[in-house]
Structure 1
Amino acid sequence: MLLTEFESGRAVIEPTDKGIRCGGEVCETMIFSFNGEIVDRVRQMPESREVGRLQTLNGRHPWYILERDGLQVGVMLAVIGAPMAVGHLEELKACGFENFIVLGSCGVLDESLVADKIILPSSALRDEGTSYHYAPANDEISYNEALLLTMEKALDQAGIEHVRAKTWTTDAFYRETADKVKRRMSVGAEVVDMEASALMAWAQFRQANVYQFFYTADYVDHHNEEWDKRHEERTADVMTFFEVALAIAKEL
């Protein structure tokens, strides 16, 4: 089977190749946000400036450096989907960023998880393709425990409530059937996303420091085979979640 062909050797194209790397100012920590509104609002802050970019066929992907209270962080929009998200992280690491704080929403499979709750995805079911090129084939993968503890310490110190959860990472959000949801829940998945298992595999392969958290959004109701967008329950300002990322950055 193709997905069992993991190889750890050098690839024909590496992110460190001179023809790939884009220039720009870097700092130690990059906040990689799947929420575009967060990045737009950071971009408009007076203490923020555009300092670099990645370039793809889709166009420019700029990053910004924000300086606040002696803290300096990079901020960039994360493209949705495991292949591009990992590809951009590869290039950002090659550019010199050392720590990656990744944030975005997730769907919930367990209705008891209320909207806007902070979730630390400690492990993931690998229902996407990218991770199989960064780690041997297996149904599940986890983040580095030491990095999870660092993130938990930062959130505890900031008084931010959070829980760990197993996520189901899937490439095909239009194919989340009721039976699949039941099967994923039967092995412990509580939330669903599109990138986490690939990011976990990339972090292990490149020995990268990835600190990822979700905030809960819609509910995939497998009982009634309905999609609950939870619009009325999702009341938090998105910058609340950016402040969570900054709390982690301060700990690093």
Structure 2
Amino acid sequence: MSKSAVLLRAFGPTTDVLSTRALAARTGIPRSTVHVLASTLAAEGLLETVPGRGWRLGPLLVGLAGQIIERTGLVAAVEGGLGGLRRAAGQEVHVAQLVGGWTVYLHREAGPVRAPMDNRVGLRAPAWRGGCGKAALSRLPAAEVDERVGRLCRDEGLPPPDRGALHDELGAARRAGYVVSSTFQAGRTSVAAPVVDADGRPVGGLSVAGPSSLFSRAVLARCAQDVVEAASRAARQLTP
């Protein structure tokens, strides 16, 4: 991997700004080399300077990422098709795309009553931590799940999840067609279903989520039916 790529990968989902010293510590690249590389990347729009603080990802990446998002068609597929997702006050709809071992949240619909949630648009999170990601992973072969999860953990220095527990959860989600997850944020539950393309490959997932207290057994059953139907509608829109 080139040193420039190593620098870019140093910026994780919870790391917005890194100083030259921090970049050197994270990457093992000498500080003088980091400064030269970062300056070059900034001149190309891949990084930008934050006065007095260091560097952050640059605006060119937004356009490049936008091309990838548009290519999958997930956002266009769900547009106008989420109205059937019945929600109680405080519940939200989330749509996320599967990218390697990550999920990237692309769409969020919240009502007038909002509960604090971490699923902001643009957030990137390990796929096995949230409902949308687990739903998407459930449509992949076990070996591919292991490969994606393992690579992400190695690249980001993250502790791997319990492999057996994860595969048990994904297997149950595959059989049911949806997953109920409360592991992304304490006190929050999501009911999620995978959105697949014409070949049955997962593009991402969509969910209804909110405070766990809002999800009685009856509400869970209703939400499960709703998200499965919404995911099926989105999948039909993806079909050429």
User: TM-score per shorter chain, which class?
Assistant: under 0.3
The structure with the greater share of residues assigned to strand is 1
**TM-score (norm: length of structure 1):** 0.26
Asked which structure has the greater RCO (Cα within 8 Å, sep 6+), the reply is 1
TM-score calculated relative to the size of structure 2: 0.27
